Structure 1
Amino acid sequence: MPAKAEKLGKPHHLGHRERLRQRFRTSGAEALPDYELLELLLFRAIPRRDTKPLAKALIARFGSFAGVLSASPERLKEVSGIGEAVVTELKLVHASGLRLAKAEIRPRSLLTSWNAVLDYCRAAMAFADREQFRILFLDKKNGLIADEVQGEGTVDHTPVYPREVIKRALELAASAVILVHNHPSGDPTPSTADIDMTRRLIEAGDKLSIKIHDHIIIGRNGHASFRSLKLM
């Protein structure tokens, strides 16, 4: 404990907080490991307690900074010391990151900003603990009209109804769509069911001139593109 803090009777973590903030200001986020960056976020929600043990417990539970931010409120609260204030702070930062990533793809053709599309989808879905089926609806210039989660299922299945997908595309006057879903297992390899469902969607879209540009599977360990794999 610094001598000055001892004399004033201040908790030792107050000096640690200021040193961590200063390191962030001078060296940026890249100079901090995941748990220290998480500590900085927890300062706001927990102003009078040492947050290092809690930050380390969260990283140990969810694997990474991104895993913590993406975890559901229910799972976050399973960690001792996590209350509503911490959950709100973490989910606010997560939502802000998604809004920023989405802003990178909205003004441009999605087919010419493919890396930004993948970054957004990964931020939105890679660490979800249930499967989600998301659709990016595109106009004639492949600009984004809407981004919608069409369904959420179990850890390994989400029901998808081609008729409903095409119906929604027609409602939005979309000319094309990009299909996206996640594999909570982490492995983005398409399953037989994924391949069959994609083919049915392509057939349904062809009848009404709705183009299926790609189907992307997002996992913690990467992504798989049906078009790149020549599955469509």
Structure 2
Amino acid sequence: MSKKSSDRRVLEEQTVSLKGTPGKTREKPHYLGHRERLRERFTASGPSALPDYELLELLLFRLIPRSDTKPVAKALLARFGTLAEVLGAPAHLLQEVKGIGPAVALDLKVIAAATQRMMHGQIKDREILASWPQLLDYCQAAMAFEEREQFRILFLDKKNGLIADEVQQTGTVDHTPVYPREVIRRALELSATAIVLAHNHPSGDPTPSQADIEMTKEIIETGKRLGIVVHDHLIIGKKRYVSMKGLLLI
């Protein structure tokens, strides 16, 4: 960014005419210099040079243009934990933080949706087993912070390319009804030869329950009779995930 452009941006943000006093301006708000320095650090060093609260501040600069956003960013992180958890939080909970109104909460959810769409693009039309880290990142972003359990199925072709990604069921805070025959029926409709199962635990603990294990084994047996392979069942928590295959449960 040129010095001329930088000076113009600061001037546009800070210049407010005093009511009834033409030609004079208010004293420069203390946060404007901080904003410009933060932008310059991001431009010069990239996002890795900034902690979560400063990246969140950069987002909030545009959403809350006439306030000090540092206290708001720190309050959001104190409430939810990490930047990912802030973006994943429901809009009504975001609005419980001082400084976050309906419009700002909606904008944060739009940013979260764009992030999920970008991650989905990293696995679309790719061989899923060769893109496993990207798949895990996508499932984490899409499901980890949901308030109710979701049961998601990724349908794969014979080359393990992604055909479809669908949320088949949404349940309560601790249970989702899953019908193995319906899972396999949908796979046959899409001409899938393999699937990856995933569901979230809103409690945050991704430890599989006995019901999770039994349901997964039933889907595996039902699919085996019709030539459909279950590669894995991922359980997504807020901070980590588990793989049933990795735990040797299937």
TM-score by length of 2: 0.86
SS of residue matched to 2:236 = strand
Q: Distance in 1 between matches of 2:88 and 2:242?
A: 20
Distance 2:113 2:121 in 1: 12
Query: Would the aligned equivalents of 1:41 and 1:89 in 2 still touch at CA under 8 Å?
Result: no
CA-to-aligned-CA distance 1:120-158 (integer Å, 9 cap, x gap): 111212222322111101011100011111122222211
Report percent identity of matched pairs.
64
RMSD: 1.9
| CA deviation after TM superposition for structure 1 residue 77, in Å | 1.7
Matches of 1:142 and 1:177 in 2, distance apart? 9
Stretch of structure 1 that moved more, 143-152 or 80-89: 80-89
Q: How many residues align structurally?
A: 229
Q: How does 1:120-139 map to 2 (within 5 A)?
A: 120-139=138-157
Partner of 1:84: 102
Q: Find the partner of 1:197 among 206, 215, 222.
A: 215
What is the letter of the counterpart of residue 187 of structure 1? D
Separation of aligned partners in 2, 1:200 and 1:130: 23
Is contact 1:216–1:224 with CA below 8 Å preserved after alignment?
yes
- Structure 1 residues 134-153: aligned runs within 5 Å: 134-153=152-171
2:39 is aligned to 21
> Aligned equivalents of 1:189 and 1:121: distance in 2?
16
Q: Which moved more, 1:39-48 or 1:203-212?
A: 203-212
Q: Does 1:32 align with 2:43?
A: no
Following TM superposition, by how much is the alpha carbon of 1:85 offset from its aligned partner in structure 2, in angstroms? 2.1
1:45-84 superposed matches below 5 A: 45-84=63-102
Which blocks of at least 5 consecutive residues in structure 1 are unaligned?
Answer: none
Question: Does residue 211 of structure 1 match 2:229?
Answer: yes
Letter in 2 for 1:30: S
1:93 and 2:111 matched: yes
Provide, for residues 89-113 of structure 1, a one-character-per-residue CA deviation record: whole Å limited to 9, x for no partner: 2112211211221111113211111
1:56 Cα deviation (Å)?
0.9
Corresponding letter in the other structure for 2:57: E
CA change 1:158–1:28 in 2 (3 A) is same
Give the match for residue 108 of structure 1: 126
Q: Distance in 2 between matches of 1:164 and 1:24?
A: 49
2:79 is matched by which residue type in structure 1? R
Query: Could you say which structure has the larger radius of gyration?
Result: 2
